[in-house]
A and B are shown apart, each in its own frame.
Chain A
């Protein structure tokens, strides 16, 4: 009788420890699984703020397109301030054009007129038509009548879905 009671007590204690060990194993597995999932996280919106300057737009990521636009002040300006304002506006337009060219592409049309084995007239026409939103000016430099505007735009993969 005594031995049977002792045996029952031993079995219950061993089963209790076994359950604790199993529970510890499962929690370790969960932690390990979470650690594994942390290796390849799905980029959240906050993470995608840090866009790279890579060439290709991968899924769930974004790229930073950066351009340098140039504009010239007209000769008949009333003041240097006006010259700067006008040159900057021209440089912004150039930056927008460059962004549109990079993101959307350029239509190119070329014609060469050749007479008597000589090039008489060579014509290249390029055209861009796009809508550019949320472009940011990062730097503006005005020197010797030339204004340079550095502009960047973040392009998200989700914008093309």
Chain B
């Protein structure tokens, strides 16, 4: 039943509440780690590992990124499609820097390894976008 002043009807409101409730329930948790190696100023190796968690993560969200998903729920495909922005986001979260350089008889060789240690991310799937937030 729709009132005269244009308010939302009761069934529609209930439907909206249920939709919101199920969209909240549609959150998954993933473990993501990232590592890349630079040797002598040249990128040598890069690895992004994504895995669904087998047990619930403990922690609170402290940052988030919103990516387009085009009705997909495959997180690997979504991240692959938004590779640059997600890698930038990982850089923002913070990376461990491990650098070693060796100079032998004035010849320098260096290796820099940047690592995001395995971190739990909460992923909320919606119709057109996906919200990814690390847990701490």
State the A residues within 8 Å of B (CB): 70-74, 86-87, 89-90, 92-94, 96-97, 99-101, 121-135
B109 to chain A, nearest CB (A): 10
Chain B residues within an 8 Å CB radius of A93:
36, 38, 43, 97, 112, 114
Say yes or no for B17: interface residue by CB 8 A criterion.
Answer: no
Q: List 21 A-B contacts (CB under 8 A).
A: A86-B43, A87-B43, A90-B41, A90-B42, A93-B36, A93-B114, A96-B97, A99-B97, A121-B105, A122-B103, A125-B103, A127-B99, A127-B100, A127-B101, A129-B96, A129-B99, A130-B97, A132-B94, A132-B97, A133-B93, A135-B91
- Interface SS, B side: strand
A24 CB to closest chain B CB (Å) equals: 52
Contact A96 B41, CB 8 Å, known A128-B99, A134-B92? no
Q: A159–B135 Cα gap in the complex (Å)?
A: 21
Partner pick for B97 among A121, A124, A128, A134, CB 8 A cutoff: A128
**A136 shortest CB reach to chain B, Å:** 9
Report A62 CB to chain B, min CB distance, Å.
18
Q: Please tell me which one of the listed residues B43, B46, B112 contacts residue A97 in the complex, with CB atoms under 8 A apart.
A: B112
Q: Are B38 and A131 in contact (CB under 8 A)?
A: no
